Chains A and B, each alone.
Chain A
Amino acid sequence: MSDFHLVRRADFSIRRLIICYAVGILISLGIGALLLSGLGINPFEYYKRMLTMGLIGNRYAYKCIEGLLKIFVPLLITSLALGLAFKMRFWNIGGEGEFLIGSICAAIVAFNSGSMPKIVTITLMCLAASLSAGIIGLAVAALKVRFNTNETLMTLMLNYIMLYLIRYLGSTKAPWNFFLNPESERPIFGQFADNCKMGGIKIGNFTLLYSVIAAIIITVIIYVYLKYTKQGYEISVVGDSSATAKYAGMKVGKIVLRTMFISAALIGLASGLATATAGTISESITNNAGWTGIIVAWLAKLSVPAIFVTTLLISVLQYGCQAAATQYPAIDSNFADLLQGIILFSVLAADFVATFKIARKGGQEK
């Protein structure tokens, strides 16, 4: 058996891709259907509800779109930011931690903003979030450049440090702790004043948050940055081979520092926007964007337009899974997560099958 090995497919066929993806998704939905039937639920009804995100027959359908966008915006910016670092082969898996420190710093601004006008407070919150996250990213990059430390471990561990920091702030009643609601006997996070909450454009009942517009502008800027600027070109050269980059006279260390700062600062910005939208902080404010963003970036093969589309699809999947689980009392959110995981896993597997093939040693193809 050991004479089988994986080979990247040399040829490319769109037909094969379509078939792989379709089969992958169908298999995952089939597994889900079996589980659902086992629970006595009609899988077709369930999937219908999942893919329409519970919009049909919903009294407050516009709320679904708002809810979807609240998942979409932070995930989009985080995925783009992670993609930026991954392109340079810098494994920033610290999205969660960078998001959390950004959120904490945005909250520091919000809780001490007094009566400044909204545009000032929200700008300051985003700035604080970006800078704090950026500095964390810069520190990891500096250690990598100077001492060649392992950035995967560094960023991973920082996630937990930040998580426990916010947990500590959320559970410690003390005179200095302005994060907490002073009225409550039990420690809970306070709410921001109205001048620190994200506003939006009213379209009927629906509110299009300014953060959505900001996210789209950021996407365009990153696209242009990567595609048409010298810095963007440097990132891809360093990613392909840092030796080549060095040979071409690029200052690799500087590029790594700069890119990692931008990557982390963008995640901080996502966090600042999300924190202002939520109007409070919590340890679950990230909604796992730092983790899911890694999947998005890789599924999209680090291409900016593809990240945009993939984020949208994954947000629909997330929101839809939750919406479907809500309607059926027998289904809990663990099942929704499970189903989501099966679908993502099969898409990744399909992608793998479409890209690689199994070959036998000695050139004889199977």
Chain B
Amino acid sequence: MKKLISLVLTASLAAMSAFAFAGCASTEGGSESDFRVGAIYINSQNDTSGYTYAHHKGITEAMEQVGLDPTKDLSIVDNVPEDAEQVKAAVDQLAGEGCDIIFGISFGYIDALEEAAAEYPDIIFSHATGYKSNDTNFNNYFGRIYQARYLAGIAAGYKSLALGNNEIGYVSAWGTEYAETCSGINAFALGCQSVNPDAHVNVYEIYTWGDQDLERQAAETLIDTFGCCVIAQHCDSAQPQIVANEKGVYGCGYNSDMTAEAPDSHLCAPIWNWSAYYATAIKAAMDDPSTFMTTVGNYYEGINSGLVAVSELSANNEPQAQEAIDIATDLMKNGEWDVFSGTALSFSGDAGSVAATQTDKDLVASDGTVIAAAGEGSIDDGVIQGSMNYYVAGVTQVNSAEG
């Protein structure tokens, strides 16, 4: 009985696959354009918000910009955990489908992509948030989100000045452990201080990239216990903004314009526009893949390329904010000035006549160490991306490192 059942199961499925094989031989594969894009996502491609969503949107928009059809010329393996074996399996599938460039969006894909780049020299591998690369077909890409955070800091600074409250809150996934979060907090604080020199940023670390309950509790603590008047955030959901809205204070979201979630309190949010990179990368790979590493290379752009920006300022902002943000944006776009340098910006004047003053001044960490001496240019990108593990003066973490 047992054997018979298994025999039949085998026979029926084998017959079906044989039928399918036979069917394939006679039909030919659908016509495809020459260039194919591959993507490996950490979450689902059908997400409607969040990290994977932002990248998927960026890739599909970029493909349309360069004349590819994302419904035909794009192969995706999604829900791939940060597990080298599964990333390699995903790469094998995408390579088999004939992808010419493969994007991996999660940090933990790093080793598997490095290996894959050596194994498939004809395919370009491009890794978001990583730090590895080679000379021919493997690069990494990320953006100067700290620039956008500085701009959001300006809006927050004006709000705190108007309210006469120097305490500003910041709900952060991580603190000084990661340069990405740390540089964001510091840039935001410097933005606040450019308007309100006495602004004090209180960081509440939640020790995870996303947990709606913790995000909510952190914002409540910052408002109720520390009396913060603006809540900024580096975490996934809009909970901190929703709390700010409920409690009648103000806030700066992240990733998307959270005015929708917090209509009465949201000022503006630092946002990503990934298509700026994806269009550049796909176009370069289509033109001449052999020069990809010289034309694109390791990509680290900011406001200038449109990769990062602040969302449109809501009506909750102080009247001077837009002008000041425009001035700072132009300075960064032209490459005249950057956030982490020995020159501090300070804004003054009423709406219609806002002016920025550049003052040479030591950029100091909260323990008094000089990060950049007065008059010095921007610090090394390596520091901003990798080794920044201290807060600037005027920032304190309110919850202890023990969590």
Point out residues on A near B: beta carbons under 8 Å: 12, 14, 17-18, 21-22, 25, 44-45, 47-48, 51-52, 54, 56-61, 63-64, 66-67, 70, 173, 181, 184-186, 188-189, 191, 277-280, 282-285, 287, 299-303, 305-306, 309-310, 313, 316, 322-323, 325-327, 329-330, 332-334, 347, 351, 354
Contact = CB atoms under 8 A, between A and B. Distances in A.
Contacts of B110: 184, 188
A306 B3 contact: yes
Contacts of B17: 51-52, 316
A185 B178 contact: yes
A188 B129 CA distance: 14
Nearest to B56: A329
A330 B71 contact: yes
Interface of B: 1-6, 8-13, 16-17, 20-21, 23-24, 27, 29-30, 44-46, 70-72, 74-79, 81-86, 89-90, 92-98, 107-108, 110-111, 177-179, 386
21 contacts: A44-B23, A48-B24, A51-B16, A54-B97, A58-B97, A59-B96, A59-B98, A60-B92, A63-B96, A64-B96, A186-B178, A188-B111, A278-B84, A278-B85, A280-B84, A282-B82, A282-B85, A285-B85, A306-B6, A309-B9, A329-B76
Determine the main DSSP class of B at the interface with A: helix
A124 B137 CA distance: 37
A52 B20 contact: yes
Given A54-B97, A185-B178, A280 B9 contact: no
A305 B6 contact: yes
A329 B70 contact: yes
A17 B4 contact: yes
Contacts of B89: 67, 70
Question: Shortest 3 CB-CB distances between A and B: which pairs?
Answer: A306-B6, A282-B83, A278-B85
Given A278-B83, A329-B71, A333-B44, 8 more contacts: A47-B20, A52-B20, A52-B21, A186-B178, A188-B110, A279-B84, A313-B9, A334-B46
Given A67-B93, A188-B110, A333-B44, A310 B9 contact: yes
Given A51-B16, A54-B97, A351 B5 contact: yes
B97 A326 contact: yes
A59 B95 contact: yes
B96 A54 contact: yes
Contacts of B386: 185
Determine the main DSSP class of A at the interface with B: helix
A188 B113 CA distance: 14
B46 to A, nearest CB: 5
A285 B111 contact: no
A186 B107 contact: yes
Nearest to B129: A186
Contacts of A322: 77, 93
Contacts of B108: 186, 188
B197 to A, nearest CB: 32
Given A47-B20, A332-B44, A327 B84 contact: no
A64 B92 contact: yes
Given A188-B108, A313-B13, A63 B95 contact: yes
A22 B77 CA distance: 31
Contacts of B24: 48, 52, 56
A270 B169 CA distance: 50
Contact of A313 (B10, B21, B90): B10
